């Protein structure tokens, strides 16, 4: 089928702001303003125990679970020592966040009106922070990838680093958004992260000065042996245009092959990934499959044959390659037979929608997952490279790149 037109973000959470890059915000415009916080029979905009609010107020429940929630609320407000200390909105938001946390999915989150506003502002591209994408892996808050040229990169953060504390606060009980809200901040201010790195015996503190983040898109280099290297840092909205602009020489002059470097690329816009994949595919070939519950799979296919479809290509990946980067890598391997060189990718292949709720709140909820054209799930495990080579930050040589070039040239 022809790929549907989507205005989607593949979102993780950047510590430089809430949101730009890892899971997927799908059908943003379509869902905006279409949902309510809880069934209408529970909530109505009235006075709640004498407290006037624009947020919904409970009314008598109609089920056992609702009865328990209502009973807990009324018992608390009736018997708590200092009822004047209870904030109605905090109680409501706390109950909702507890409900969401119990789902056990680190990418499903509730946003208060202020958090939702901040999330949308950050997704528009205005970032101040440390410039690292973070997510949960095996229950630990983990650096997915530091952005190129960012304060996080300059401070030595690496993909896979576990963040134990943020300014002394333990991250084990935090949601992703709570952690990000502590890490982010005004340019010029400092944040102290307590980091544990695999292979080291002790955790250590890393102080990072926040900055305004300008996210690069890609770099292009042609080697003497005719090999072209394109390092793609993210899938921003204009990434396909910039990518097409840089491949002009490949199309007109030819090349001995292309190295597509997706290491530490945390993702970005779904459409950007699909459009770039299309440059390598034949008309009608599948780039990615979206699977949701109770509906037929949505299959994204190339709408034309791309100019790079016959160019030998090797893809470099690592644990910081996530989401949209995994989609592109999977599309090239399954369709073109492109070798993946490096280490296993992050494994962030879930779809999130962002319905707006009553009073300006919002819910980021996981609704599906991504599959490669060969129907390999990108959720959880990540893509295992064909040639495994470890990044070694302590050596000047780029052993992964060297291995990729040798694989490309058949050496």
Tens-digit pLDDT profile for residues 210-247: 998 777 789 999 988 889 999 999 888 889 999 999 99
- Active-site position among 334, 338, 364, 391: 334
Q: How far is CA 356 from each of CA 5, 7, 58, 359, 361, rounded to the nearest angstrom? A: 21, 16, 19, 9, 6
Summarised one tens digit per residue, pLDDT across range 182-209 is 998 899 999 999 999 998 999 999 999 9
What span, in angstroms and rounded, lies between the C-alpha atoms of 289 and 234?
A: 20
What span, in angstroms and rounded, lies between the C-alpha atoms of 351 and 364?
A: 10
Instruction: Give me the mean pLDDT over the 398-402 stretch.
Output: 94
- Per-residue pLDDT band for 258 (boundaries 50, 70, 90) equals very high
Q: Is the pLDDT of residue 52 over 80?
A: no
Q: Report the mean per-residue pLDDT for the chain.
A: 81
Could you confirm whether 348 is annotated as catalytic?
yes
Residue-level pLDDT at 33: 26
Instruction: Give me the mean pLDDT over the 389-407 stretch.
Output: 87
pTM listed for this prediction: 0.69
Q: Is residue 270 a contact partner of residue 28, using CB atoms and an 8 Å limit?
A: no
Residue-level pLDDT at 127: 67
Residue-level pLDDT at 148: 77
Q: How many C-beta atoms lie closer than 10 Å to residue 133's C-beta?
A: 34
Q: Is the pLDDT of residue 313 over 80?
A: yes
Segment (H or E) for 97: helix 88-101
Q: Is the pLDDT of residue 149 over 90?
A: no
Summarised one tens digit per residue, pLDDT across range 19-46 is 333 333 332 222 222 222 322 222 222 2
- Per-residue pLDDT band for 164 (boundaries 50, 70, 90) equals very high
The side-by-side arrangement of strands in the sheet containing 218-222 is 218-222, 227-232, 257-261, 313-317, 339-342, 387-388
Summarised one tens digit per residue, pLDDT across range 7-20 is 444 444 444 333 33
Q: Which domains does the chain have, with CATH numbers?
A: 27-112 (no CATH), 128-212 (2.30.42.10), 218-350+363-409 (3.90.226.10)
Summarised one tens digit per residue, pLDDT across range 60-75 is 445 667 788 888 989 9
- Active-site position among 150, 236, 348, 391: 348
What span, in angstroms and rounded, lies between the C-alpha atoms of 348 and 276?
A: 19
Residue-level pLDDT at 123: 55
Could you confirm whether 35 is annotated as catalytic?
no
Could you confirm whether 310 is annotated as catalytic?
no
Residue-level pLDDT at 7: 40
- Active-site position among 323, 338, 364, 391: 323
């Amino acid at each position: 089928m022809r790929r549907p037109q989507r205005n989607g973000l593949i979102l993780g959470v950047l510590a430089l702001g809430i949101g730009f890059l890892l899971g997927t915000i799908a059908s943003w415009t379509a869902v905006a303003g279409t949902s309510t916080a809880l069934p209408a029979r529970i909530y109505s905009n009235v006075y709640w125990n004498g407290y006037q609010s624009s947020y919904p107020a409970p009314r008598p429940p109609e089920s056992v679970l609702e009865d328990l929630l209502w009973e807990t609320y009324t018992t608390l407000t009736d018997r708590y020592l200092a009822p004047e200390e209870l904030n109605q909105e905090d109680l409501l938001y706390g109950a909702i966040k507890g409900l969401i946390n119990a789902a056990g999915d680190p990418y499903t989150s509730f946003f208060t009106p202020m958090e939702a506003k901040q999330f949308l502002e950050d997704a528009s591209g205005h970032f101040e922070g440390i410039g690292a994408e973070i997510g949960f892996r095996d229950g630990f808050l983990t650096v997915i990838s530091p952005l190129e040229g960012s304060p996080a990169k300059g401070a030595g953060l690496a993909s896979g680093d576990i963040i134990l504390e943020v300014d002394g606060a333990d991250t084990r009980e935090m949601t992703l958004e709570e952690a990000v809200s502590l890490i982010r901040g005004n340019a010029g201010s400092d944040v102290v992260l307590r980091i544990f790195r695999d292979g080291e015996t002790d955790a250590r503190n890393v102080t990072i000065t926040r900055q305004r983040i300008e996210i690069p898109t890609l770099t292009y280099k042609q080697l003497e042996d005719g090999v072209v290297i394109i390092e793609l840092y993210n899938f921003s909205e204009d990434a396909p245009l910039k990518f097409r602009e840089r491949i002009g020489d490949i199309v007109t002059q030819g090349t001995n092959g292309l190295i597509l470097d997706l290491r530490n690329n945390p993702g970005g816009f779904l459409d950007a990934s699909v459009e770039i994949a299309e440059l390598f595919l034949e008309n009608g070939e599948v780039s990615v499959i979206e699977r949701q519950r109770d509906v037929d799979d949505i299959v994204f296919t190339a709408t034309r044959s791309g100019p790079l479809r016959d160019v030998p290509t090797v893809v470099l990946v690592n644990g910081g390659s996530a989401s949209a980067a995994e989609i592109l890598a999977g599309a090239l391997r399954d369709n073109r037979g492109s070798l993946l060189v490096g280490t296993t990718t992050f494994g962030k292949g879930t779809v999130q929608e962002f319905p707006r709720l009553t009073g300006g709140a919002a819910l980021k909820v996981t609704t599906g997952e991504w599959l490669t054209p060969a129907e390999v799930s990108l959720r959880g495990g990540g893509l295992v490279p064909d040639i495994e080579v470890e990044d070694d930050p302590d050596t000047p040589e780029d052993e992964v790149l060297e291995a990729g070039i040798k694989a490309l040239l058949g050496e």
